[in-house]
Amino acid sequence: MAGDYFQFVTKFFEVIKASATHIYHSALELSPMSSIVRKLYHHRCVTHLPRVVIGTPESWTHSIAIFREEEDNRPYTWSLCGRFVAAVTRRAVEIRNQLTLELITILQPPETIPHLTGPVAYSPDGRSIACASYTAIIIWDIQTGGVAKEIECGTSNHSLVWSSDGQRICTIGYEPYTVHIYGVSSGAASSPGTLQSRGSLHLWAVDESFRVMTTYDRYDIKTIDIFEVGSTLTKIQSFSPRLSSTIYGMSFSPTTHHISFWGYDTLSISDVRSSEVLLHAEHDNASPRCFSSDGSFFAASKEEILSVWKYDSGHYALCGKYQLQDWPGDHLLFSPTPSSSIMGQSWNTLWVLHLHELPTAPKIHRQQYVGLSRSGTRVATAHGMESTVTTADVLARTPPHTGDKGPNTHWVHGENIEITVNM
């Protein structure tokens, strides 16, 4: 019932705001037949009000959308609290309510800025917002709506991220992917270096620093590198996951090290550290794709159908499909916390899909292998399609020990114990 009231209020917010009597003139009459609100109150409407003869929907739509003047895709982002949406136009940044997409305020750049290009990002404390143009990074104070800082950058940017303490901003320009760091207060700039990335790259903040993931493909050997962004670019991790030979697109979850990719007609998710396959499904043209901020959800679209998976018990399980109003363009973006909404763009339409009825993913039952030592004092457990085995001494109070089975799952030795698991 609470969900139905939420749909009723957000769906008809604008018309009821203009005139409360439209609760009876429009809202109840246009509510779907399955609506609890309609069933409770529609029969109480006076008879002389207009009636819908044909075309009443059966259920609520889960999305709201606004028409935008620009015909091309423009950058957008969520506030860290998930309550607001920032959408970039050529001449301003619009702040909107995420429930109704009602316009709250417009942030105007200085007159010297010809137009904004993005990307756009909220500061960690939610009090400022930064957006890039071809020549500068503009920082607004959201409370006043005024420009707090203008930092010269001299190039268009692929990515823009605030440091966790809000003192610095890191950007990555388009090819060549040159990394820059700017002091928010001083405007001082430094350039740690240039990255080579064949496919997608991903930039995120870690404490007071930044990290970036790059992909590289040469002679069918694919590597995924993670760099620490400091005074220089320092490679701190490198992975060679077992991926198919032809990859058309990737997305990355830094909190879980999960990476998604799609080939000719399949969609897959793997853990880059262990190469474990977490999802493998037939899903051609799975673009765009995105992970939630904590990696617990994953979404991908096929034309106007959006599929959502939930991570549970070591795998991603399909938990919902949603009809979109149009092709979702090139980007999807989960709300930060909680991951109950997802935002996208279809040419000149910005939309938000509310996932309030997202069910809990079913438990995945994995085949488990157990071995006991001859003395009965040590036990080992393993699961098929996973790369680790846990061994424990049943008499000792020490915690269990987890070791690597190896890429082909040969055997694992404990004290007088041996386990073989066939993949």
Under 8 Å between Cβ of 361 and 319: yes
- Answer with the residue of higher pLDDT: 236 or 67: 236
- pTM for this predicted structure: 0.71
Round to the nearest angstrom and report the end-to-end CA distance of the chain.
Answer: 47
pLDDT at 15: 87
Rounded Cα distance, 279 and 318, in Å: 10
Using CB atoms within 10 Å of the CB of residue 207, give its burial: 0 to 12 exposed, 13 to 18 middle, 19+ buried. Answer: exposed
Sequence letter at residue 243: L
pLDDT at 199: 67
Question: DSSP 3-state assignment of 28?
Answer: helix
Rounded Cα distance, 172 and 125, in Å: 22
Mean pLDDT lowest among 162-176, 274-288, 362-376:
362-376
pLDDT tens, residue by residue, 346-397: 777 888 888 765 544 333 334 556 777 777 777 777 754 445 677 777 676 5
pLDDT at 218: 53
Q: How many CB atoms lie within 10 A of CB 107?
A: 22
Band (4; pLDDT cuts 50, 70, 90): confident
Q: What are the structure tokens assigned to 302, written together?
A: 């096929």
Rounded Cα distance, 82 and 64, in Å: 16
pLDDT, average across residues 136-153: 93
pLDDT at 358: 52
Rounded Cα distance, 278 and 282, in Å: 14
Sequence letter at residue 383: H
Q: What is the 3-state composition of the chain as percent helix, strand, coil, each rounded to the nearest 5?
A: 10, 45, 45
Mean pLDDT lowest among 94-98, 137-141, 169-173, 280-284:
280-284
pLDDT tens, residue by residue, 195-222: 887 767 899 999 889 999 988 765 455 7
**Nearest alpha carbon to residue 81 among 341, 359, 310:** 341
pLDDT tens, residue by residue, 299-339: 988 777 888 999 988 899 988 888 776 666 678 899 987 66
Question: DSSP 3-state assignment of 197?
Answer: coil
Mean pLDDT lowest among 48-62, 130-144, 221-235:
48-62
Q: What is the DSSP letter of 43?
A: G
